[in-house]
Amino acid sequence: MDELIKNLVETYGPSGFEWKIRALIRDEIEPYVEDIKVDAMGNLIAHRPGDGDGLKVMVAAHMDEIGLMVSHITEKGFLRFTNIGGVRPQSLMGSRVQFSNGTTGVIYSEKLESWAKLHPLNKHYIDVGATSREDCPVEVGAAAAFLRPFVSQGNRWIAKSMDDRIGCAVVIEALKEIEHSINEIYFVFSVQEEVGTRGALTAANALQPDVGLAVDVTLSGDMPETNTIAVVLGSGPAIKVKDSGMIAHTGLVNQMKLRAEEAKIPYQLEVLEGGSTDARSMQIAGAGSAAGCLSIPTRYVHSQSEVVDVSDVKNSVRLLSDLLSKPINL
């Protein structure tokens, strides 16, 4: 699984610019599905028909990542930028980014009056080695993704864009494991989640699923003076009960708990006070669906060094594949 995750997390794909990561995922899953398409929004939708009278299930993992977009180029060739998704100033100085044409840039900020304070985004710039606006290798509107290699260290995987390429990896591996299912399953690798779960909303409106299940990351509460959340690395996948955008369907939560207990898969219950996932869009699209989320505990979300536990990821694959292979009783 290491090689798959390395390829996923290191591939360019900020929100709205997902064509490279979409092509990679398509090549990976096409042999295992009945049909596959890209909708007008850019979502990659793979279909597996069911073997009986099961439910129509939409499983969504978003393939976009946070990033930056050039808003202005100075006379001396430095790039001013705006954010794509939840980019935090404290993660910027000294970071590297890459544009779709391969250009690499270094982020720095204007002079600080005090190192105890942070500049906002608009006081930062990207240096791509240009000396003027005319010789700059990128243009206004170009999108950049953060540049950071994947590291496998002991029982931890470390990378940028684990949110949500690790969710994509879980869905891909579960898809490969499922041989038969009573349920009709649509595997959706969604776009533009980081800017408002937009791709999942259009896909759910088109598919009208009975059940909507997001596979995404969640915060971990096991670092010093961190979030008060009852989720830690290494204790199993988290079954979402609530976040700031949705309350999960009780029947689906109970079904996930039951499948985990039957298969002796460790799990945690997640109540997230801030943030939401594609599950919110699936829950309220069209006539609505029974929605929930399978979450992978992650440290340092929306930084360039997000950390997950190998056992949590592998147990997430087991739980997802077991849930989808069997009847879902709500």
- Annotated catalytic residues are 193
> What number of other Cβ atoms are within 10 A of residue 224's Cβ?
4
State the sign of the Cα–Cα–Cα–Cα dihedral 147, 167, 250, 185: positive
Convert the chain into a string of H (helix), E (strand) and C (coil): CHHHHHHHHHCCCECCCCHHHHHHHHHHHHHHCCEEEECCCCCEEEEECCCCCCCEEEEEEECCECEEEEEEECCCCCEEEEEECCCCHHHCCCCEEEECCCCEEEEEECCCCCCCCCCCHHHEEEECCCCCCCCCCCCCCCEEEECCCCEEECCEEEECCHHHHHHHHHHHHHHHHCCCCCCEEEEEEECCHHHCCHHHHHHHHHHCCCEEEEEEEEECCCCCCCCCCCCCCCCCCEEEEECCCCECCHHHHHHHHHHHHHCCCCCEEEECCCCCCHHHHHHHCCCCCEEEEEEEEEECCCCCCEEEEHHHHHHHHHHHHHHHHCCCCC
- SS3 string, 189-246, reads EECCHHHCCHHHHHHHHHHCCCEEEEEEEEECCCCCCCCCCCCCCCCCCEEEEECCCC
What is the sign, positive or negative, of the torsion defined by CA atoms of 254, 185, 311, 65? negative
- Location of structure tokens 């592998």: 314
